[in-house]
Amino acid sequence: MRNIKLTPPVVALLLAIGLFFLGGVLRPGFANVDQAVNIVRLAAFLGIIAAGQTLVIISGGEGIDLSVGAVVTLAAILVFRIVDKQNSMVLPALGVALLAGAGIGLVNGLGVTAVGIPPLVMTLGMAGVVQGIILVVTQGELIGGSAPIMATLIARPLIFGIPGVVIIWVVVGALMWLLLERTTYGKQLFAVGVNRTTARLSGVRVPVVVVATYTLSGLLAALGGFMVLGFTGSVFLNLGDRYLFPSIAAVVVGGTVLAGGAGSYFGTMSGALVLTLITSLLTALQLPEAFRLMILGVILLVLLSVYGRQRGLRQ
Say how far apart CA 232 and CA 241 lie, in whole Å: 15
pLDDT reported for residue 187: 93
Read off the pLDDT of residues 150-167 as tens digits, 9 standing for 90 and up: 888 888 887 877 888 999
Hey, which residues does 206 pair with through a beta bridge?
A: none
Contact 64, 213 (CB under 8 A): no
CATH architecture of 40-307: Orthogonal Bundle (1.10)
DSSP track, 122-173: HHHHHHHHHHHHHHHHHTT-------HHHHHHHTSEEETTEEHHHHHHHHHH
pLDDT reported for residue 312: 42
In the predicted structure, residue 314 carries a pLDDT above the cut 70: no
Q: Tell me which residue of 265, 275, 216 sits closest to 244, measured CA to CA.
A: 275
Say how far apart CA 77 and CA 71 lie, in whole Å: 10
Say how many residues make up the chain.
Answer: 315
For 137-141, 147-151, 198-202, 295-299, which range has the lowest pLDDT when averaged over its residues?
Answer: 295-299
Say how far apart CA 133 and CA 115 lie, in whole Å: 22
Contact 65, 108 (CB under 8 A): yes
Read off the pLDDT of residues 175-224 as tens digits, 9 standing for 90 and up: 999 999 999 999 999 999 888 888 888 888 999 999 999 999 999 999 99
Hey, which residues does 159 pair with through a beta bridge?
A: 162
What number is the average pLDDT over the span 243-269?
87
pLDDT reported for residue 121: 93
DSSP track, 176-222: HHHHHHSSHHHHHHHHHHH-HHHHHHTT--HHHHHHHHHHHHHHHHH
Higher pLDDT, 147 or 6: 147
In the predicted model, what is the mean pLDDT of the chain?
A: 86
